[in-house]
Amino acid sequence: MQVSDAQDAPGASYAYKASLIGSAHRFELTDEGLSWHIAGRSGLWRYDEISAVRLSFRPVSMQQHRFRADVSHAGGGRIRILSTSWQTAALMAPQDNGFRSFIVELHARMAKAGSRATLTAGLGGKTYAVMLAFLAVLTVAMTGLLIRALLIGEFAGALFILGFAALFAWQVGGFVRRNQPQSYGFDQVPRALLP
């Protein structure tokens, strides 16, 4: 494969390790399309053959600041691109600048190629609704426990519930806010879903 000046542009390539075992997942934006190499498989998807891109915020226990892009092909198949890379058994390193540059450049090249891909952000509508319903039930339950603790004079318990609720709201609030379902255009990539 010949390397052109367009491929040398900032954000034209990206790689990450999805696990400790195995090779890195490598992606390159070429003049022909999105070239990918994952677990011994490879392919080239022309920009106008990409049918959908979904951006989301997906923290995990070892990396609370992790983003994900799911890229789908018109003929079937989907590849996942993550903003973090495994370094050691206990370290998952963020690759914020590389991920952001690659995703922005992918959108720019798709727009230039006249892509008609569906661009969505956040979780799916049904998943998001279920999550909100679960959070509403949890809020009612926690409020009930707080009122009960105050009525029986268990102020240490009430403080614990308030502290737990504040921590939970801080941890889950960012996930809920960032992953609100939405559509966007090629020139309006959601900043909340890029590191």
Return the percent helix, strand and coil in the chain, to nearest 5.
Answer: 40, 30, 30
DSSP state of 24: P
Range of lowest pLDDT (31-35, 57-61, 127-131, 173-177): 57-61
Written as six digits, the tokens of 144 are 């009930």
**Is domain 5-122+181-193 in CATH 2.30.29.30, yes or no?**
yes
Give me the numbers of helices (H) and strands (E) for the chain, helices first please: 3, 11
How far from the centroid of its chain's Cα atoms is residue 152's Cα? 44
- In terms of Cβ atoms closer than 10 Å to its own Cβ (0-12, 13-18, 19+), residue 9 is middle
- How many other C-beta atoms are found inside a 10 Å radius of the C-beta of residue 194? 17
Indicate the pTM of the whole model: 0.79
**How does the average pLDDT of the chain come out, rounded?**
87
